[in-house]
């Protein structure tokens, strides 16, 4: 198994709060890895550190053999890393199609100068539109392509966010609480989609998730944090009855 993403000894501090304390995490190519842990465990901080939104005070992050900490957040799309957010980060006032197209801009070839000159931009825009439609088709939401995102059902917006992340052809997709707020049926469908992304498209996934049944059903490996530290890690079968994990979620039995 090849490690696509590896965090070693990552420590993050916010003033006096140590949000991550020497955290290690390895995500293997072609696998689904889940990052779990109770509230405040450091999951979002770990995601934000990988996304280069938060700077660790020490440690290393390797992506596809390169030093990720030397790269800027704006480079992640080009490197092949995409993410979704816990509280959907879609643009109100833009249509579903436009929101999805935004996800590919980091990979556009024309660039600002080309766009200003106007030459290959029109062709690129047509191609981008076609790709965005194809993504909407993949998620079964072409009927809302020209609707403003505002007011659409939450399950639809989650699909739009996924489509936007995937249009950049990521190698690694980071999903922050993808099942949060979804109905039972939507969660089941999401699980099928994520497995298809792994199996049919070879995408590696790292997700932060509280929905334990969902996590245990689709993940190849699970890493649990507690109080900013590595608690346990292993396969879902190995962790299902972990006393450490049960204690972290439920508190010390009296
Ligand atoms: N910007 C910040 N400033 C100060 N403290 C922060 C900041 N962000 C996170 N923290 C603290 O760092 C710790 C880890 O928080 P984090 O949000 O990463 O946990 P989490 O596991 O994602 O929690 P949840 O499941 O509730 O989203 C917490 O103690 C939190 O209060």
Across the chain, which has 254 residues, the per-10-residue mean pLDDT values are 94 96 97 95 96 96 96 91 78 84 63 52 76 90 90 86 90 93 90 93 94 94 96 93 85 54
CATH topology of domain 1-80+170-254: Rossmann fold (3.40.50)
The model's pTM is: 0.88
209 Cβ inside 6 Å of ligand 1: no
What is the rounded CA–CA span in Å between residue 44 and residue 142?
Answer: 31
Q: Provide the pLDDT for residue 45.
A: 96
Q: How far is the CA of 112 from the centre of ligand 1 (A)?
A: 36
Closest CA to 193 of 129, 141, 128: 141
Tokens, residue 243: 């006393």
- Name the one residue in this structure whose structure tokens are 């501090």: 13
Q: Provide the pLDDT for residue 247.
A: 87
* CB of 61 closer than 8 Å to CB of 68: yes
* CB of 13 closer than 8 Å to CB of 54: no
252 Cβ inside 6 Å of ligand 1: no
So what's the ipTM on this one?
0.96
Instruction: Tell me the angle at which helices 154-166 and 121-138 cross, rounded to the nearest 10 degrees.
Output: 130
Q: Provide the pLDDT for residue 87.
A: 64
Sign of CA dihedral 158, 80, 204, 196: positive
Domain limits, the chain: 1-80+170-254, 91-168
- Structure confidence by residue, pLDDT tens digits, 64-84: 999 999 999 989 989 999 988
* CB of 31 closer than 8 Å to CB of 235: no
- Provide the CA 186 distance to its chain's centre, in angstroms: 18
Q: Provide the pLDDT for residue 171.
A: 96
Closest CA to 93 of 132, 160, 147: 147
Q: Provide the pLDDT for residue 119.
A: 53
Q: How far is the CA of 49 from the centre of ligand 1 (A)?
A: 12
- Tally the C-alpha atoms within 13 A of residue 77's C-alpha that lie toward its C-beta: 15
37 Cβ inside 6 Å of ligand 1: yes
């Amino acid at each position: 198994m090849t490690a696509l993403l590896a965090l070693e000894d990552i420590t993050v501090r916010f003033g006096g709060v140590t949000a991550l304390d020497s955290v290690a995490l390895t995500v293997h190519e072609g696998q689904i890895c889940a990052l779990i842990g109770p509230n405040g465990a450091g999951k979002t901080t770990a995601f934000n550190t990988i996304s280069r939104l938060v700077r660790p005070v020490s440690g290393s992050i390797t992506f596809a053999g390169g030093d990720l900490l030397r790269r800027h957040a704006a480079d992640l799309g080009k490197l092949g890393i995409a993410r979704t957010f816990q509280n959907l980060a879609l643009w109100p006032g833009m249509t579903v199609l436009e929101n999805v197209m935004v996800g590919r801009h980091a990979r556009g070839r024309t660039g600002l100068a080309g766009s200003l000159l106007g030459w290959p931009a029109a062709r690129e825009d047509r191609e981008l539109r076609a790709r965005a439609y194809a993504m909407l088709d993949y998620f079964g939401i072409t009927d809302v392509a020209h609707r403003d995102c505002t007011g659409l059902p939450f399950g639809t917006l989650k699909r739009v966010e996924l489509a936007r992340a995937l249009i950049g052809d990521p190698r690694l997709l980071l999903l922050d609480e993808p099942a949060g707020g979804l109905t039972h049926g939507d969660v089941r469908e999401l699980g099928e989609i994520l497995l298809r992304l792994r199996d049919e498209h070879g995408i590696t996934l790292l997700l932060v998730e509280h929905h334990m049944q969902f996590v245990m059903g689709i993940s190849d490996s699970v890493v649990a944090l507690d109080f900013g530290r590595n608690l346990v890690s292993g396969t879902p079968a190995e962790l299902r009855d972990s006393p450490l994990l049960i204690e972290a979620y439920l508190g010390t039995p009296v």
